[in-house]
Amino acid sequence: MAARKQGGGKAGNRMWGGRYKMGPAEIMEKINASIGFDKRLYAQDIAGSLAHCDMLVARKIITAADGRAIKRGLKQVKAEIESGRFKFSTKLEDIHLNVESRLTEIIGPAGGRLHTARSRNDQVALDVRLWVRDTIDRVEPMLADLQAALIDRAQEHAATIMPGFTHLQTAQPITFGHHLLAYVEMFGRDRGRLADCRARLNVSPLGAAALAGSPHPIDPRKTARALGFDGPMANSLDAVSDRDYVVEFVAAASLTAVHLSRLSEEIVIWCSAPFRFISLSDAFTTGSSIMPQKRNPDAAELARGKVGRIVGAFVALCTMMKGLPLTYGKDMQEDKEPLFDAADSLELCVAAMAGMVRDLKANPERMRAVAAADYSVATDLADWLVRKLGLPFRQAHHVTGALVAMAAEKDVPLDGLTLQQMRTIEPKITRDVFKVLTVEASVAARKSLGGTAPANVARAVADARKRFAR
């Protein structure tokens, strides 16, 4: 690579032009430079420049010869970056000036014509928009894969009984498959939010220039089509100042992370000794440096912990944008680090969760034993009193509570009471009551739409495969 001349210091900055006779102070250079993180935008920046170059040639704003040289030079710059040979410079501030400077070194003065009818304001807006779109296109199929893993396990455990909880107290028996399908629905909504975000961001800001548009005979529709956008943005001021798509993506990522964290919390609980509902293999657990018996669900704990980083990025972005007047402010340079960190954390957590779901091994015997404890079929008894004896539900609730108290005093389950003992509380009770006092009968009876009956779960699995297929 040829030696690179750098701006800054007493010599001025050649990228800023003749307005500045002296370069920035050292501390100004440090606070101003973004190349340390926005170099991640190189592919999007070069893609946007190639489309812009084609438009300039088509509109006869630059010559075809210059256009060919620019495109050749841009492809060389991209190859240098991807091979690790490119030397990024903080003196050139950002990815845009680094690319343009190297392009000019490669092809000469023609490189300076690429910036005709364009500003770094609409250029960075384009780059980040493309980056978020590319990220959504990676994350969305990852969520689909996580759903597929959950659906597969739900099918496997459509009839596996486990306790359902409210307040983390045993409430009613459900099936493990039904529980897993609840997360399929959550991640389906997350995919929908990402799709909505992608649809809204899919307009091109290129052509807005600094803020007011361009006097050159540009064709923003051409560049929009070339880059896969639905069209150009309608207002040049909005085009360079809008960061809604960044905030919206990180908001969607935050809610996805909350769902990942909820499932992570359950995995941590289910793996614990008091529960023993599931186990994870060595692939997704770690040991202790002092306690040799330990198997820690660290992957789940880390996925649970990273929600703080992602939600923190959302708060940081909203705080950055809340007081900005139109149009561009250098504050917006602070959008990239939280965006990049949130996206990286989300992708890592989604992949880890899909791995854990496929890796986990259920303990159906333990799940059923806990589901049968703590009088979890009490509601079934109350419902039976309503259906068979015609009691008002409030009276049935009172009778059931009295029977639970009697069973607890005798330290037996509800079906451990005799018919004679039950009739001391409600004389009309018949022997048929014992048919509803098992966890199997309880889950089988929940046939209403969205209910936990194994037959329902089997149908829900088939439906989920269709609804969430890619």
Residue 288 is among the residues annotated as catalytic for this protein: yes
407 touches 414 (CB < 8 A): yes
Q: Please tell me whether the peptide bond between 175 and the residue prior to it is cis, using omega within 30 degrees of 0.
A: no
What six digits make up the tokens of 429?
Answer: 């009770």
| E-only strand ranges, 253-330 | 278-279
Catalytic residue among 288, 345, 376, 448: 288
Residue 397 is among the residues annotated as catalytic for this protein: no
171 touches 378 (CB < 8 A): no
What six digits make up the tokens of 193?
Answer: 């939010």
DSSP annotation of 276 reads: -
User: For 72-79, which contacts have Cβ atoms below 8 Å and span 24 or more sequence positions?
Assistant: 72/107, 73/103, 73/106, 73/107, 73/111, 74/46, 74/49, 74/50, 74/99, 74/103, 76/106, 77/46, 77/102, 77/103, 77/106, 78/42, 78/43, 78/46
Catalytic residue among 83, 167, 289, 448: 167
CA–CA separation, 163 vs 153, rounded Å?
17
Q: Which residues contact 98 (CB under 8 A, 6 or more apart)?
A: 35, 39, 86, 88, 89, 92
CB-CB neighbours of 156 under 10 Å: 14
Q: Pick the closest to residue 377 from 400, 346, 344, 406 (CA basis).
A: 400
As annotated, the active-site residues are 167, 288
